[in-house]
Structure 1
Amino acid sequence: MLARFVDFCIGRRALVVTVIGLLTLLMLGAASRIHVGTDFEDLLPRHHAYVEVHNRFKATYGSSNAVTIVLEAEQGDIFRTDFLERLRTVTLELRKVDGVNPEQIISLASRKIVDVRSSSDGLESRPLMFPEVPSDAAGLAELKARVQRNGLVLGSYVSRDLGAALVTVDFYDHLLKPEEAFRQIRAIADAVAGPGVRVRMVGEPILAGWVAYFLPETLTILAATLAVLGALLFLFSRTWRGTLLPGLAGFTSGCWALGVAALAGIQFDPLVIVVAFLITARSISHSVQLVTRFDDELKAGAATAREAARKAMFGLFKPGMLGVIADAGCMIIVILVPIPLMQKVAVIGTVWVSTIALSAVVMTPVLLSWVRLPVRHAHPINLMPGLDRAMAGLARRVVGRNAYSVVAVAGVVFVVSGWFAFDIRIGDANPGSPILHQDSAYNRDATEINRRFPGTDRMFVVLAGEQADDIKRPEALETMNRFQRYMEAQPEIGASLSLADLIPVIKRVMRDGNHHYEEFGRNQNENGELLYLFSSGGADPSDLERLADRDFKTGAVTLFFRDHQGDTIRTAVARIKEFAAANPLPGMQLLLAGGFAGVTAAVNEVILASQIESIALALLVLVLCCAVTYRSPNAGMFFMVPVILANTLTFSFMAWKGIGMNINTLPVAALGIGLGVDYAFYIIDDIREELRHGKSLEEAIALALAGAGKGVTVTAGTLILAVAMWGFSSLRFQSEMALLMAIWLGISAFSALVLMPAMVVVFKPGFVMGTARAASVARPLQSIQP
């Protein structure tokens, strides 16, 4: 059946190329309309308890897309008319940003920051600095004194050294366009920055904006990478077909994948371009193997290009398709992660990998059948003789007793790397954003803001009652207060805020500022009266909505985190659950968790569960594919060895370098399962074929390395050198993923060239040896010429 299929493709080559070409043009047209961007809703796990709490309360207590802007005075304090005017300008101009929630713009210059005073009529709540900035020295001095007396402002919206002021702004999630918000906020910041004033800003929309800002650079690096890749292929192959056909295979796969994504309405996230390049590299690898085999068939005496192309396609179809199916199977597993972005990446990635079956496995040999003979080289530099000698020398070192040494060393490496792989962190492993380098403007801003203020990453935990006014109960407020003190003992949490902070301040003011009365009311009614006096004294009713809902059935405790590292978030969640279990309150419950840190906790929990599940299922897919293809359960176990070795080594490297397993690295890790075994398929299949032709085991290994092994070396070496271009990216994620790709490629190539032949010698698996097992001792290897 395979022979008939190959004969059809080569015999009807014009029809095959025409159909594939027309379909590719249609997909290219669709791909040109694909939307590039990030949808924040796609980052949140579906049906996770934390996300449900977040979605339920985000309009009141804050979404995960809050932006923090800090204005710093380069000399002196902020209590200068020119500085405060700039702070006021930022506060007012933020109202014009698309998608902004105007009720969630809070700063010293907003009407929500109030000073509570007692008077003969009760309480008087007046904005500290709204609507105008003090114009004289006396007014500035009074404002400064009022800020220093206000514990809810000093440290939270004005730094304790009085040298910086903070502005927070939140968005309606469904209206937010991160790139546009970033552009508008940055324009506001640039307008007020200048001599004496520095502006810093952080938040998920700002981060997404920086990613979009570097998109032209990313495309430039991609173009440079492809140029280097083409140059290296041209150097090694010495032919235009060895350069252009692999490039055409990668281009065709990309058109099909992006076209399908556009037709399905799936947008392309800039961060997954690394995954895209990795899959394109697989397409190029398969095509290079076919070109190399085509050249070998010509050297072996094939009379025509058609005959050589037919033999190359027939010989490599099974390992090529097995590699495609294994890669696609490992990629589709990611769809089980209940995060929409991961599921979309899984769909695009699976389609992309699957198209390699057409773009490389079928189209490359069909196009090769048109090559004119005799074949001429495009340049005089010939690296192949040296590579042939290297393969022959390698073949002598993976047989006999050396094979046992290779397997033993691999076993030791597996045990050691597996031990260190358990240290890999789930979630972000470093302060700041792992998307950008530590010395980037964004991460420098995050570091400085967290140094001066309680923290930029927020998590709100909701204390929910069963009926109205439950939050006003003294025992509820006492629980909130104890919870805040308990959580603030964690060093990474800089501060917390709740209704339990406000009511004692109101009662103290009612008692002429006497700190002895800074306590809760004796009962629910007294607390309600204190809150009524606060609201009736001139405060905006919406000011309390940041702390409790309108009927006081629920109240939020907002925790301010100095970083969102995986360990920080997991520790906080564990402490919250521990407190809730130890402090039950009848009729009320503590609900986890909203805000950026809350949804990050949800993502980390999903990834922790999905990581083990994805690896296990991907290995199962690999075992089944190999077992069915080679009709032997042992084949699955045999090919699992390089995959496990590649993963333990890569994960241990990630643990060593502080690269966390997060929403961005998970697809690369899943695809790495298939990547770790592709090269091995070609080597083992070549060994099997030579054994069926009557060669001894040593001869079969030597010939396989001289044929498929040469293609593996050229492909892996070319891709590793080309991937190095991503080290220049301003996006840390891209440079780190490029490094991981290079490691995976290197381990995959090493396993295929060294470990797999050695394992064949040591274990002599039946699916490889077949009837040649008895003839495994044969002529000396020295008689085999490269």
Structure 2
Amino acid sequence: MVATTNELDGMPVVASREDFDKTSGVLLERMIFNNRFLLVMACLLLTLLLGYFASRLEINASFEKMMPQSSPFVQNYRANAASLKGLGNSVRIVVENTKGDIYDPAYLEVLRKVNDEVFLIPGVDRSFMKSIWMPVVRWTEITEEGYKGGAMIPDTYNGSAESIKAVRFNVNRSGIVGSLVANDQKSSMIFVPLLETDNATGKALDYRAFSDQLSQIRSKYEKEGVRIHVIGFAQLVGDLIHGMIEVFTYFIFAAAIAMAIILLYTRCIRSTLLVILCSLVAVTWQLGFMQLFKFVLDPYSVLVPFLIFAIGVSHGAQKMNGIMQDIGRGTHRYVAARYTFRRLFLAGLTALLADAVGFAVLSLIDIPVIRSLALSASIGVAVLIFTNLILLPILLSYTGVSSKAALRSMKSSEAGQHPLELWLGRFTQPRWATAVLVITAALAAAGLVIASQLKIGDLDAGAPELRPDSKYNKDNAYITSHYRLSSDQFAVIVTGPDDMLLNYETLLEMDRLEEELRDLPGVQTTVSAASLSRQYTSAGFEGSEKWITLNRDPYVNYDAINYVYDSNPEMFNNQRSVAPIIAFLADHKAETLTRVVQTVEAFAKKHDTAERKFLLAAGNAGIEAATNIAVTHANRTMLLYVYGAVILLCFITFRSWRAVVVAVVPLMVTSILCEALMVLLGIGVKVATLPVTALGVGIGVDYALYLLTVQLVQQRQGLAVPEAYRAALVFTGKVVALIGVTLAAAVITWAWSPIKFQANMGILLAFMFLWNMIGALIVVPSLATFLLRSATTKSAMPIDAQVEWARALAQESPDGEDAKRSQA
């Protein structure tokens, strides 16, 4: 029998499985393919088991996990959290009377019912909950007999005209208009601080259940003539979780798009289904392992299964294409699977390790939610090494591909016939390569100029995680426009010895910092024990305006501070040793937070003493400022580690610094252009968007690895760059183009997600997939034209001699081929 050889690597075409030497290949290959059935059965059982665990995976989030744990701001907050009630996780519920003002018996009755139902929701810190129906909210006035006060709505309230008149009088003399009552007095607020752990059950707060209960209350009472607005981290997470459930439908769209494009390319249903199946198996395993390791699926890690599926499709298509081409040449499907395993396992393994590095470096960011994302994604990549590099070739060795698809693949792969080979081959010509490199350099320079304007943190008011027209952002806009005190609170923590608030110097320094903060753009107002004690000192002297001051007498301060504590117990602790200065901000944009941080740091540097300290920071805006600082420090460090690891992996694979440069330069250009695109789209770098660049680099290097691996094999066999590149195009390059388009088309569906940061990630990842593909197909050959011309080859024979050598090799018998390989 006469055997032919594959022109790519000289492997003989073996039409019958019996003619193939099962002892050939490396040990790993023999272990895998000589035990196919056992491995398939093990994978089936493991899929069923992990699928069961995946079905039990919890969907939740955590306020604590959003904090950068090593940040001095967060450490200061956590050290004093027990003394800073109401400055952590909380929601604000505003009940609006759509038919008039709040001085309406029907409205007040609805407000009471809402207040009582919210009070009973698990996870509410009931001691510090506030509304005009809560007894802790009191009015106070000075009379001839001294201080006089009481509950905002007294026990004698019965809904009569006299009772309503008393409530109106109490509200107007209490000073809560603009905070708990709207400026126009047509709505009132219920302030609800939350506990991260439910004291009754000991379990973490279930944000989805909490949000669902609020939604039930909203839908129940909005039928009674009121409109309810809710903002706060818990409500935001609830909306994100519900958005996540809708996002799962995009997973179906992504899988359908990927399957349709691959099927259109291969025209083989069974191999296309196997590629999709193995990618879905990888997702199932990943979710199952997440549940076993006690991870939860949160709004930030929900995209990881999408990415694992996309990476799996990318690698699976390469394996399917290699097997299809060998079958088209007449090789038995079992032998074709082993050949493809030999050729592409190392390239695939290196590519997946690069993907893993892209995820793993995210763990450098000291924010637990990002570290969880990094770990869960790394688990997914580890799973892909088995499901797509091993399981898929095994399954294809059983099923093979349709004969029509194989013949069609071979016909399109004939030398000089494939459109990609004809069109892209010109970029190995010096004239075309020079033009490409000049354009690439110009784009990179322009991108650098634009990317220099990239901002850290939120660039919009409200919740940038959601769309501007979302219910949450509409609620936030209403509350911001109708209340004097915003929900963006930045708290400075003042600490000192016990009873420090009785000290005049301490109160004076706190008052001075408040004055500086009020002068900053973006700060609405401030409040602290110092500013409140001014009011109560005046009240102690018959309300005289000249006594709206801080008193040097500790006894006067003692009385004032006690009254502050009675009406505002969250303003300091029982020992009077920890007290916040709260700045209410107009927004939480990065510029606003930076101004506040710089002002407080400068003040603390001048006014801190051995005992009294002004510490940053608490409040939701203070935590966000800490997060912005952590993201700023991690952004470039993360990219440095990603590129360092990718360069190392590429060098191990190629053993050539020139090849490493050829592979990495297009990635760098894409990273620059991605940051420029973020500037043009108004997207800031924050927890939600920080992973994109790292993921783009890790996944994008796959294209260059598959293309250059084949090209360098050809060059080391004696071919020049143009011929080697054309051979790589036919074998792996056309699949690079296919997968680039497929992945971009799949992730661009996220652009319609109700969760804005997921939509942004979809746009950015689609951009990076496409540009990395373009870089691999156009920039890589252009660079190779100049850098890889002197690549080490096994032979320096001219082209004519190579042709004669290939013809002679093709005419040898299998025994002759074995002898030749033995001699080699």
Q: Give the alignment's TM-score, normalised by structure 2.
A: 0.88
> Would the alpha carbon gap of residues 256 and 709 (structure 1) be closer, same or farther in structure 2, given more than 3 Å must change?
same
Pick one of 440, 445, 456 that aligns with 1:426. 456
What letter is aligned with 2:289? V
In the alignment, is the contact (CA less than 8 A) between 1:646 and 1:676 conserved in 2?
A: no
1:221 aligns to 2:245 (yes or no): no
The residue aligned with 1:58 is 81
Pick one of 487, 492, 496 that aligns with 1:461. 492
1:40 aligns to 2:60 (yes or no): no
Counterpart secondary structure, 1:597: helix
Counterpart secondary structure, 2:127: strand
Pick one of 447, 451, 456 that aligns with 2:481. 451
The residue aligned with 1:97 is 121
CA distance in 1: counterparts of 2:164 and 2:597, whole angstroms = 42
TM-fit CA distance, 1:133: 4.7
The residue aligned with 2:181 is 158
1:514 aligns to 2:538 (yes or no): no
1:356 aligns to 2:374 (yes or no): no
CA distance in 2: counterparts of 1:4 and 1:307, whole angstroms = 16
The residue aligned with 2:506 is 476
1:12 aligns to 2:42 (yes or no): no
The residue aligned with 1:118 is 142
CA distance in 2: counterparts of 1:774 and 1:198, whole angstroms = 83
In the alignment, is the contact (CA less than 8 A) between 2:304 and 2:376 conserved in 1?
A: no
The residue aligned with 2:17 is none
1:405 aligns to 2:435 (yes or no): yes
Counterpart secondary structure, 1:601: helix
In the alignment, is the contact (CA less than 8 A) between 1:696 and 1:775 conserved in 2?
A: no
> Would the alpha carbon gap of residues 63 and 156 (structure 1) be closer, same or farther in structure 2, given more than 3 Å must change?
closer
> Would the alpha carbon gap of residues 4 and 470 (structure 1) be closer, same or farther in structure 2, given more than 3 Å must change?
closer
Counterpart secondary structure, 1:199: strand
1:245 aligns to 2:274 (yes or no): yes
In the alignment, is the contact (CA less than 8 A) between 1:69 and 1:166 conserved in 2?
A: yes
The residue aligned with 1:31 is 54
What letter is aligned with 1:455? S
TM-fit CA distance, 1:478: 2.0
In the alignment, is the contact (CA less than 8 A) between 2:658 and 2:787 conserved in 1?
A: no
Pick one of 279, 287, 293 that aligns with 2:316. 287
Counterpart secondary structure, 1:45: coil
The residue aligned with 1:784 is none
Q: Name which of structure 1's ranges 476-485 and 406-415 shifts more when overlaid on structure 2.
A: 476-485
Q: Report 1:251-330 matches (<5 A).
A: 251-299=280-328, 301-330=329-358
CA distance in 2: counterparts of 1:133 and 1:197, whole angstroms = 21
CA distance in 2: counterparts of 1:547 and 1:505, whole angstroms = 14
In the alignment, is the contact (CA less than 8 A) between 1:691 and 1:769 conserved in 2?
A: yes
> Would the alpha carbon gap of residues 450 and 373 (structure 1) be closer, same or farther in structure 2, given more than 3 Å must change?
closer
CA distance in 1: counterparts of 2:411 and 2:514, whole angstroms = 68
1:501 aligns to 2:531 (yes or no): yes
In the alignment, is the contact (CA less than 8 A) between 1:42 and 1:341 conserved in 2?
A: yes
CA distance in 2: counterparts of 1:64 and 1:776, whole angstroms = 73
Q: Give the alignment's TM-score, normalised by structure 1.
A: 0.92
Q: Name which of structure 1's ranges 248-257 and 324-333 shifts more when overlaid on structure 2.
A: 248-257
1:197 aligns to 2:223 (yes or no): no
> Would the alpha carbon gap of residues 664 and 776 (structure 1) be closer, same or farther in structure 2, given more than 3 Å must change?
farther
The residue aligned with 1:538 is none
CA distance in 2: counterparts of 1:719 and 1:769, whole angstroms = 34
> Would the alpha carbon gap of residues 748 and 310 (structure 1) be closer, same or farther in structure 2, given more than 3 Å must change?
same
CA distance in 2: counterparts of 1:501 and 1:387, whole angstroms = 82
Question: Superposition RMSD on alpha carbons, in Å?
Answer: 2.8
1:577 aligns to 2:605 (yes or no): no
CA distance in 2: counterparts of 1:231 and 1:248, whole angstroms = 14
CA distance in 2: counterparts of 1:383 and 1:89, whole angstroms = 75
The residue aligned with 1:567 is 591
Q: Report 1:607-618 matches (<5 A).
A: 607-618=631-642
CA distance in 2: counterparts of 1:648 and 1:383, whole angstroms = 39
In the alignment, is the contact (CA less than 8 A) between 2:467 and 2:473 conserved in 1?
A: yes
The residue aligned with 2:213 is 184
> Would the alpha carbon gap of residues 122 and 216 (structure 1) be closer, same or farther in structure 2, given more than 3 Å must change?
same
TM-fit CA distance, 1:132: 5.8
The residue aligned with 1:333 is 361
CA distance in 1: counterparts of 2:280 and 2:504, whole angstroms = 67
CA distance in 1: counterparts of 2:519 and 2:802, whole angstroms = 74
In the alignment, is the contact (CA less than 8 A) between 1:696 and 1:777 conserved in 2?
A: no
CA distance in 2: counterparts of 1:659 and 1:734, whole angstroms = 12
What letter is aligned with 1:27? L
What letter is aligned with 1:462? I
- Give a deviation string over 1:615-644, Cα, whole Å, max 9, x none: 111111111111122223444343221221
TM-fit CA distance, 1:128: 2.4
> Would the alpha carbon gap of residues 3 and 194 (structure 1) be closer, same or farther in structure 2, given more than 3 Å must change?
same
- Aligned residue pairs, count: 770
Q: Unaligned stretches of 5+ in structure 2?
A: 1-23, 199-204, 804-824
TM-fit CA distance, 1:770: 3.8
> Would the alpha carbon gap of residues 59 and 97 (structure 1) be closer, same or farther in structure 2, given more than 3 Å must change?
farther
1:371 aligns to 2:404 (yes or no): no
> Would the alpha carbon gap of residues 519 and 690 (structure 1) be closer, same or farther in structure 2, given more than 3 Å must change?
same
TM-fit CA distance, 1:441: 0.4
TM-fit CA distance, 1:289: 0.8
Counterpart secondary structure, 1:179: helix
- Give a deviation string over 1:502-545, Cα, whole Å, max 9, x none: 2222222233332222222232221103334x38xxxxx66442
Q: Report 1:373-772 matches (<5 A).
A: 375-377=403-405, 388-453=418-483, 454-465=485-496, 467-532=497-562, 534=563, 543-584=567-608, 587-764=611-788, 768=791, 770=793
CA distance in 1: counterparts of 2:66 and 2:745, whole angstroms = 33
- Give a deviation string over 1:627-680, Cα, whole Å, max 9, x none: 122223444343221221121111111122122222222333322221121101
CA distance in 2: counterparts of 1:585 and 1:271, whole angstroms = 42
TM-fit CA distance, 1:578: 1.8
1:78 aligns to 2:134 (yes or no): no
Counterpart secondary structure, 1:355: helix
TM-fit CA distance, 1:772: 6.9
CA distance in 1: counterparts of 2:188 and 2:406, whole angstroms = 65
In the alignment, is the contact (CA less than 8 A) between 2:270 and 2:401 conserved in 1?
A: no
TM-fit CA distance, 1:377: 4.6
> Would the alpha carbon gap of residues 381 and 163 (structure 1) be closer, same or farther in structure 2, given more than 3 Å must change?
farther
Identity of aligned residues (%): 26
In the alignment, is the contact (CA less than 8 A) between 2:268 and 2:402 conserved in 1?
A: no
CA distance in 2: counterparts of 1:268 and 1:512, whole angstroms = 59
What letter is aligned with 1:68? R
TM-fit CA distance, 1:286: 0.5
> Would the alpha carbon gap of residues 753 and 609 (structure 1) be closer, same or farther in structure 2, given more than 3 Å must change?
same
TM-fit CA distance, 1:192: 2.9
Counterpart secondary structure, 2:418: helix
TM-fit CA distance, 1:379: 14
CA distance in 2: counterparts of 1:634 and 1:382, whole angstroms = 32
In the alignment, is the contact (CA less than 8 A) between 1:623 and 1:633 conserved in 2?
A: no
Q: Unaligned stretches of 5+ in structure 1?
A: 536-540, 781-786
CA distance in 2: counterparts of 1:778 and 1:723, whole angstroms = 48
CA distance in 2: counterparts of 1:662 and 1:383, whole angstroms = 49
